[in-house]
Protein backbone atom coordinates (compact mmCIF):
# COMPACT_ATOMS: atom_id res chain seq x y z
CA UNK A 1 0.00 0.00 0.00
CA UNK A 2 1.17 3.50 -0.80
CA UNK A 3 -0.22 6.69 0.70
CA UNK A 4 -0.73 8.28 -2.72
CA UNK A 5 -3.48 8.71 -5.27
CA UNK A 6 -3.90 10.27 -8.68
CA UNK A 7 -7.07 12.22 -7.96
CA UNK A 8 -7.67 13.55 -11.46
CA UNK A 9 -5.83 14.44 -14.68
CA UNK A 10 -6.48 16.42 -17.83
CA UNK A 11 -5.44 19.31 -20.06
CA UNK A 12 -1.74 18.79 -19.41
CA UNK A 13 -2.04 18.50 -15.62
CA UNK A 14 -2.13 15.94 -12.79
CA UNK A 15 -3.91 16.39 -9.47
CA UNK A 16 -2.21 14.09 -6.95
CA UNK A 17 -2.21 13.43 -3.23
CA UNK A 18 1.16 12.61 -1.74
CA UNK A 19 0.45 11.75 1.89
CA UNK A 20 -1.22 14.77 3.53
CA UNK A 21 -0.73 17.24 0.66
CA UNK A 22 -2.46 17.59 -2.73
CA UNK A 23 -0.33 18.82 -5.64
CA UNK A 24 -1.21 20.17 -9.08
CA UNK A 25 1.63 19.36 -11.49
CA UNK A 26 2.10 19.61 -15.28
CA UNK A 27 2.24 16.55 -17.51
CA UNK A 28 2.46 17.20 -21.28
CA UNK A 29 1.32 13.63 -22.05
CA UNK A 30 -2.14 14.27 -20.57
CA UNK A 31 -4.18 15.21 -23.64
CA UNK A 32 -7.71 14.51 -22.35
CA UNK A 33 -10.14 16.69 -20.42
CA UNK A 34 -10.29 16.93 -16.63
CA UNK A 35 -13.02 14.83 -15.03
CA UNK A 36 -13.38 16.93 -11.86
CA UNK A 37 -14.56 20.56 -11.68
CA UNK A 38 -12.17 23.47 -11.22
CA UNK A 39 -13.27 23.80 -7.58
CA UNK A 40 -11.59 20.47 -6.79
CA UNK A 41 -8.34 21.48 -8.47
CA UNK A 42 -8.32 24.75 -6.57
CA UNK A 43 -8.03 22.76 -3.33
CA UNK A 44 -4.44 21.83 -4.16
CA UNK A 45 -1.88 22.74 -1.50
CA UNK A 46 0.71 23.62 -4.16
CA UNK A 47 0.75 24.17 -7.92
CA UNK A 48 3.73 23.95 -10.28
CA UNK A 49 4.06 26.42 -13.17
CA UNK A 50 7.76 27.05 -13.88
CA UNK A 51 8.07 26.82 -10.10
CA UNK A 52 5.97 25.98 -7.07
CA UNK A 53 3.23 28.23 -5.70
CA UNK A 54 2.06 27.12 -2.27
CA UNK A 55 -1.57 27.70 -1.41
CA UNK A 56 -1.27 26.48 2.17
CA UNK A 57 1.28 26.50 4.95
CA UNK A 58 3.10 23.40 3.81
CA UNK A 59 6.05 22.09 5.78
CA UNK A 60 9.40 22.04 3.99
CA UNK A 61 9.30 18.25 3.95
CA UNK A 62 6.72 15.65 4.89
CA UNK A 63 6.43 11.88 5.08
CA UNK A 64 4.71 9.31 2.91
CA UNK A 65 4.24 5.64 3.81
CA UNK A 66 4.84 2.84 1.31
CA UNK A 67 4.05 -0.62 2.63
CA UNK A 68 6.11 -0.88 5.84
CA UNK A 69 8.56 1.93 5.02
CA UNK A 70 8.43 5.73 5.09
CA UNK A 71 10.01 8.40 2.89
CA UNK A 72 10.67 12.12 3.12
CA UNK A 73 9.11 14.19 0.35
CA UNK A 74 9.98 17.74 -0.70
CA UNK A 75 8.95 20.13 -3.48
CA UNK A 76 11.89 20.20 -5.91
CA UNK A 77 12.64 22.83 -8.59
CA UNK A 78 11.96 20.17 -11.26
CA UNK A 79 8.32 19.51 -10.18
CA UNK A 80 9.23 16.19 -8.52
CA UNK A 81 8.70 15.20 -4.88
CA UNK A 82 11.39 12.57 -4.30
CA UNK A 83 9.36 9.46 -5.06
CA UNK A 84 7.75 7.87 -8.13
CA UNK A 85 4.55 6.05 -7.02
CA UNK A 86 4.24 4.14 -10.30
CA UNK A 87 7.30 2.11 -9.25
CA UNK A 88 5.64 0.73 -6.10
CA UNK A 89 5.02 -2.69 -7.69
CA UNK A 90 8.73 -2.90 -8.48
CA UNK A 91 9.65 -2.32 -4.83
CA UNK A 92 7.41 -5.26 -3.95
CA UNK A 93 9.17 -7.34 -6.62
CA UNK A 94 12.62 -6.36 -5.29
CA UNK A 95 11.62 -7.24 -1.73
CA UNK A 96 10.17 -10.61 -2.71
CA UNK A 97 13.09 -11.58 -4.97
CA UNK A 98 15.68 -10.83 -2.28
CA UNK A 99 13.80 -12.62 0.48
CA UNK A 100 13.10 -15.70 -1.66
CA UNK A 101 16.75 -15.93 -2.73
CA UNK A 102 17.57 -17.37 0.74
CA UNK A 103 21.20 -16.28 0.33
CA UNK A 104 23.26 -13.10 0.63
CA UNK A 105 22.35 -10.72 -2.19
CA UNK A 106 24.43 -7.81 -3.48
CA UNK A 107 22.35 -5.17 -5.26
CA UNK A 108 23.61 -2.23 -7.31
CA UNK A 109 21.29 0.77 -7.61
CA UNK A 110 22.38 3.17 -10.38
CA UNK A 111 20.93 6.68 -10.79
CA UNK A 112 19.53 5.85 -7.36
CA UNK A 113 18.10 9.31 -6.59
CA UNK A 114 16.46 9.43 -3.13
CA UNK A 115 16.80 5.71 -2.63
CA UNK A 116 13.36 4.06 -2.65
CA UNK A 117 14.73 0.87 -4.25
CA UNK A 118 17.75 1.07 -1.95
CA UNK A 119 15.55 1.19 1.15
CA UNK A 120 13.39 -1.75 0.13
CA UNK A 121 16.41 -3.83 -0.88
CA UNK A 122 18.24 -3.06 2.36
CA UNK A 123 15.12 -3.71 4.44
CA UNK A 124 14.80 -7.10 2.73
CA UNK A 125 18.36 -7.96 3.78
CA UNK A 126 20.43 -7.08 0.70
CA UNK A 127 23.86 -5.46 0.68
CA UNK A 128 23.28 -2.34 -1.44
CA UNK A 129 25.62 -0.09 -3.40
CA UNK A 130 23.77 3.19 -4.00
CA UNK A 131 25.20 5.29 -6.85
CA UNK A 132 24.09 8.76 -7.89
CA UNK A 133 25.93 11.75 -9.36
CA UNK A 134 24.05 14.22 -7.13
CA UNK A 135 25.34 14.81 -3.61
CA UNK A 136 21.99 16.37 -2.48
CA UNK A 137 20.14 13.28 -3.75
CA UNK A 138 22.45 10.97 -1.80
CA UNK A 139 21.98 13.11 1.31
CA UNK A 140 18.21 12.84 0.85
CA UNK A 141 18.53 9.06 0.54
CA UNK A 142 20.47 9.04 3.81
CA UNK A 143 17.57 10.87 5.46
CA UNK A 144 15.27 8.10 4.25
CA UNK A 145 17.67 5.50 5.65
CA UNK A 146 17.57 7.16 9.09
CA UNK A 147 13.78 7.53 8.91
CA UNK A 148 13.43 3.76 8.47
CA UNK A 149 15.89 2.74 11.18
CA UNK A 150 18.38 1.37 8.66
CA UNK A 151 21.44 3.13 10.08
CA UNK A 152 23.24 -0.18 10.48
CA UNK A 153 22.11 -1.63 7.14
CA UNK A 154 24.94 -2.55 4.74
CA UNK A 155 24.52 0.34 2.29
CA UNK A 156 27.51 1.74 0.42
CA UNK A 157 27.00 5.35 -0.74
CA UNK A 158 28.77 6.41 -3.94
CA UNK A 159 28.66 9.86 -5.58
CA UNK A 160 29.85 9.06 -9.07
CA UNK A 161 29.09 8.79 -12.76
CA UNK A 162 27.27 5.47 -13.36
CA UNK A 163 29.25 4.66 -16.50
CA UNK A 164 32.60 5.45 -14.90
CA UNK A 165 31.72 3.58 -11.70
CA UNK A 166 30.66 0.39 -13.48
CA UNK A 167 33.83 0.46 -15.61
CA UNK A 168 35.87 0.71 -12.40
CA UNK A 169 33.95 -2.14 -10.76
CA UNK A 170 34.53 -4.36 -13.80
CA UNK A 171 38.28 -3.76 -13.57
CA UNK A 172 38.18 -4.62 -9.87
CA UNK A 173 36.33 -7.86 -10.54
CA UNK A 174 33.37 -6.81 -8.37
CA UNK A 175 30.04 -8.49 -9.16
CA UNK A 176 26.40 -7.97 -8.19
CA UNK A 177 23.43 -10.33 -8.03
CA UNK A 178 20.87 -7.66 -8.91
CA UNK A 179 21.03 -4.31 -10.70
CA UNK A 180 18.44 -1.52 -10.70
CA UNK A 181 18.76 1.65 -12.77
CA UNK A 182 16.72 4.73 -13.71
CA UNK A 183 18.87 6.35 -16.41
CA UNK A 184 17.81 9.86 -17.48
CA UNK A 185 17.59 11.11 -21.05
CA UNK A 186 20.38 13.63 -20.44
CA UNK A 187 22.55 14.47 -17.47
CA UNK A 188 26.10 14.83 -16.25
CA UNK A 189 28.35 13.22 -13.67
CA UNK A 190 30.07 14.89 -10.69
CA UNK A 191 33.02 15.88 -12.89
CA UNK A 192 30.80 17.27 -15.66
CA UNK A 193 30.97 14.29 -18.03
CA UNK A 194 27.74 14.41 -20.08
CA UNK A 195 25.28 11.51 -20.19
CA UNK A 196 23.09 10.78 -23.20
CA UNK A 197 20.65 7.87 -23.02
CA UNK A 198 20.88 7.13 -26.75
CA UNK A 199 24.68 6.78 -26.82
CA UNK A 200 25.57 5.81 -23.24
CA UNK A 201 22.82 3.37 -22.26
CA UNK A 202 24.17 0.53 -24.46
CA UNK A 203 27.66 1.13 -22.98
CA UNK A 204 26.21 0.94 -19.48
CA UNK A 205 24.49 -2.36 -20.24
CA UNK A 206 27.81 -3.73 -21.52
CA UNK A 207 29.48 -2.69 -18.26
CA UNK A 208 26.67 -4.26 -16.24
CA UNK A 209 27.10 -7.52 -18.12
CA UNK A 210 30.71 -7.63 -16.90
CA UNK A 211 29.77 -7.06 -13.25
CA UNK A 212 26.75 -9.38 -13.07
CA UNK A 213 27.36 -12.39 -10.83
CA UNK A 214 27.28 -15.96 -12.19
CA UNK A 215 24.00 -16.52 -10.31
CA UNK A 216 22.00 -13.33 -10.89
CA UNK A 217 18.51 -12.54 -9.63
CA UNK A 218 17.32 -9.66 -11.79
CA UNK A 219 18.09 -6.49 -13.75
CA UNK A 220 15.47 -3.76 -13.66
CA UNK A 221 15.51 -0.65 -15.88
CA UNK A 222 13.14 2.31 -15.81
CA UNK A 223 13.18 5.13 -18.34
CA UNK A 224 11.30 8.41 -18.44
CA UNK A 225 10.83 10.90 -21.27
CA UNK A 226 12.85 8.82 -23.73
CA UNK A 227 11.84 8.65 -27.38
CA UNK A 228 11.55 4.89 -27.46
CA UNK A 229 9.13 2.09 -26.61
CA UNK A 230 9.09 -0.72 -24.01
CA UNK A 231 9.86 -3.15 -26.84
CA UNK A 232 12.98 -1.21 -27.81
CA UNK A 233 14.11 -1.14 -24.19
CA UNK A 234 13.49 -4.88 -23.91
CA UNK A 235 15.45 -5.57 -27.10
CA UNK A 236 18.42 -3.60 -25.72
CA UNK A 237 18.36 -5.68 -22.51
CA UNK A 238 17.99 -8.92 -24.48
CA UNK A 239 20.97 -7.96 -26.63
CA UNK A 240 23.21 -8.17 -23.57
CA UNK A 241 21.44 -10.65 -21.28
CA UNK A 242 19.27 -12.73 -23.60
CA UNK A 243 21.47 -15.81 -23.25
CA UNK A 244 20.87 -16.02 -19.49
CA UNK A 245 18.37 -18.48 -18.08
CA UNK A 246 15.23 -16.59 -17.14
CA UNK A 247 12.77 -14.15 -18.64
CA UNK A 248 12.95 -10.66 -20.12
CA UNK A 249 9.78 -8.59 -20.24
CA UNK A 250 8.79 -4.95 -20.49
CA UNK A 251 5.89 -2.55 -20.24
CA UNK A 252 4.67 0.91 -19.34
CA UNK A 253 4.84 2.52 -15.92
CA UNK A 254 1.27 3.52 -15.19
CA UNK A 255 -1.01 5.05 -12.55
CA UNK A 256 -4.77 4.60 -12.41
CA UNK A 257 -6.76 7.75 -11.90
CA UNK A 258 -9.36 7.91 -9.11
CA UNK A 259 -11.87 10.26 -10.79
CA UNK A 260 -12.54 8.47 -14.10
CA UNK A 261 -10.37 5.34 -13.75
CA UNK A 262 -8.23 6.36 -16.73
CA UNK A 263 -4.71 4.94 -16.93
CA UNK A 264 -1.89 7.46 -17.09
CA UNK A 265 1.39 6.30 -18.66
CA UNK A 266 4.43 7.88 -17.00
CA UNK A 267 7.39 5.94 -18.39
CA UNK A 268 8.62 2.55 -19.56
CA UNK A 269 10.43 -0.39 -17.98
CA UNK A 270 12.16 -3.63 -18.85
CA UNK A 271 13.32 -6.45 -16.59
CA UNK A 272 15.42 -9.58 -16.70
CA UNK A 273 14.50 -12.03 -13.96
CA UNK A 274 15.14 -15.64 -13.11
CA UNK A 275 11.45 -15.81 -12.14
CA UNK A 276 8.26 -14.28 -13.54
**Tens of pLDDT along the chain (276 residues)?**
899 999 999 999 999 999 999 999 999 999 999 999 999 999 999 999 999 999 888 999 999 999 999 999 999 999 999 999 999 999 999 999 999 999 999 999 999 999 999 999 999 999 999 999 999 999 999 999 999 999 999 999 999 999 999 999 999 999 999 999 999 999 988 888 899 999 999 999 999 999 999 999 999 999 998 888 999 999 999 999 999 999 999 999 999 999 999 999 999 999 999 975
CA–CA distance, 250 with 177 (Å, rounded to integer)? 20
List of domains in the chain: 4-74 (2.60.40.1180), 85-273 (3.40.50.150)
Residue 222 · residue 197 · CB < 8 Å:
no
Residues 6+ apart with CB under 8 A from 174: 211
Would you say 22 and 8 are in contact if contact means Cβ atoms under 8 Å apart? no
The pTM for the full model equals: 0.96
Burial of 149 (C-beta count, 10 Å sphere; 0-12/13-18/19+): exposed
- Coil, strand or helix: which one is 188? strand
What whole-number distance in Å separates Cα of residue 250 and Cα of residue 272? Answer: 9
- Please list the residues that pair with 132 across neighbouring strands: 159
Amino acid sequence: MIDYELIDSGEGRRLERFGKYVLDRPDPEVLWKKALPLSEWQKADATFNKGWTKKSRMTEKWQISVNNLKFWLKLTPFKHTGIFPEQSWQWEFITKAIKEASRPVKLLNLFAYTGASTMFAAHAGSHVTHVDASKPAVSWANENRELNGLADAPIRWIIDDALVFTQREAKRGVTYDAIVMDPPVYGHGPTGRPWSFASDFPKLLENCKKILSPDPLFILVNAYAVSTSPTTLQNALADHFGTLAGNIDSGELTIEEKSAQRTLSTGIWTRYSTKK
